[in-house]
């Protein structure tokens, strides 16, 4: 098998990673397509996860894998910008925020997989711990991506117009994530808004990935 350049690998990563994560996010039981449940209703979510334990495990793993793949590509672009003019300060801020969010989502998905394996009476406490981790991770992730997209918006090589548009979406996801985290009764609609935001981020990521791959052709 031939070698692949770091630029091309980053391009494939930033394009494919979010696609994997978003597809399996919507396939995760209790979220949208499979036994949809109010995210604030612990019993309904737990029932959805345990009733589809195999799918719960699969989605928990693949969402995490997709996010790791995405973040590899994000960090490659951050490395290009760091110390190289416009956007330097913003990407230095974005990287740790995104990393904290990534770790939080991986822990949160681990808890979801545990719940899906039918842990019995400990499922409810685990659910609330997982919700807390996912909530704070979502805020960090959104803040990190806001800083990252603003950094890209300052540079023409990353399609600055689209970057500004996605930055506005990031502001919305930050606000919505804080609302959902502070008031569980709002989780149903805030989760829906965040889901739409993730789809928009994915579209922009595919464009970024395509541009990185094109550099090597």
18 domain residue, yes or no = yes
| 114 compared with 1, residue with greater pLDDT | 114
The answer to whether 101 touches 144, Cβ cutoff 8 Å, is yes
> What confidence tens digit (pLDDT) does each residue in 120-170 have?
667 888 888 888 888 888 889 889 989 999 999 888 778 888 888 999 988
- Quickly count: other Cβ atoms within 10 Å of residue 125's Cβ: 11
Domain range enclosing 138: 6-215
1 domain residue, yes or no = no
pLDDT, residue 59, reads 92
| 21 compared with 35, residue with greater pLDDT | 21
> What confidence tens digit (pLDDT) does each residue in 57-107 have?
999 999 999 999 999 999 998 888 887 777 888 999 899 999 999 999 999
Question: At residue 1, does pLDDT exceed 50?
Answer: no
Whole-angstrom Cα distance, residue 199 to residue 176?
A: 15
Question: At residue 173, does pLDDT exceed 50?
Answer: yes
> What confidence tens digit (pLDDT) does each residue in 118-132 have?
766 678 888 888 888
Whole-angstrom Cα distance, residue 81 to residue 44?
A: 45
List the structure tokens of 30. Answer: 């209790």
Q: Residues near 136 by Cβ (< 8 Å), separated by ≥ 6? A: 104, 181
Q: How far is CA 29 from the centre of its chain?
A: 17
pTM, to two decimals: 0.85
DSSP 10-70: HHHHHHHHHHHHHHHHHHSTTTSSSS---TT-HHHHHHHHHHTHHHHHHHHHHHHHHHHHH
Segment 11-16 shows an average pLDDT of: 93
154 domain residue, yes or no = yes
pLDDT band for 187, please (50, 70, 90 cuts): confident
The answer to whether 15 touches 206, Cβ cutoff 8 Å, is yes
pLDDT, residue 32, reads 74
- Residue 30's nearest CA partner among 153, 118, 116 is 116
- Residue 107's nearest CA partner among 133, 140, 132, 131 is 133
Whole-angstrom Cα distance, residue 64 to residue 59?
A: 8
Check residue 38 and give left, alpha or beta (phi > 0: left; psi -120 to 50: alpha): beta
163 domain residue, yes or no = yes
Residues of the chain above pLDDT 90, percent: 27
pLDDT, residue 103, reads 94
Total domain count, the chain:
1
pLDDT, residue 101, reads 92
């Amino acid at each position: 098998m031939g070698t692949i350049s770091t630029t091309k690998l980053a391009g494939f990563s930033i394009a494919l990673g979010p696609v994997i994560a978003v597809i399996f996010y919507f396939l995760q039981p209790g979220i949208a397509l499979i036994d949809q449940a109010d995210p604030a209703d612990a019993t309904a979510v737990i029932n959805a996860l345990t009733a589809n334990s195999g799918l719960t495990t699969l989605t928990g793993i693949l969402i995490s894998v997709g996010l790791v793949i995405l973040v590899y590509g994000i960090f490659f672009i951050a490395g290009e910008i760091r110390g190289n003019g416009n956007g330097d300060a913003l990407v230095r801020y974005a990287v740790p925020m995104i990393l904290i969010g990534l770790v939080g989502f991986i822990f949160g998905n681990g808890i979801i997989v545990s719940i899906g394996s039918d842990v019995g009476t400990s499922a409810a406490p685990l659910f609330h711990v997982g919700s807390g981790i996912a909530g704070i991770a979502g805020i960090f992730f959104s803040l990190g991506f806001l800083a990252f997209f603003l950094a890209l918006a300052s540079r023409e090589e990353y399609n600055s117009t689209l970057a500004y548009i996605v930055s506005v979406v990031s502001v919305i996801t930050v606000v919505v994530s804080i609302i959902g985290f502070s008031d569980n009764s709002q989780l149903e609609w805030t989760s829906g808004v965040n889901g739409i935001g993730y789809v928009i981020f994915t579209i922009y990521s595919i464009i970024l990935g395509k541009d990185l791959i094109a550099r090597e052709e």
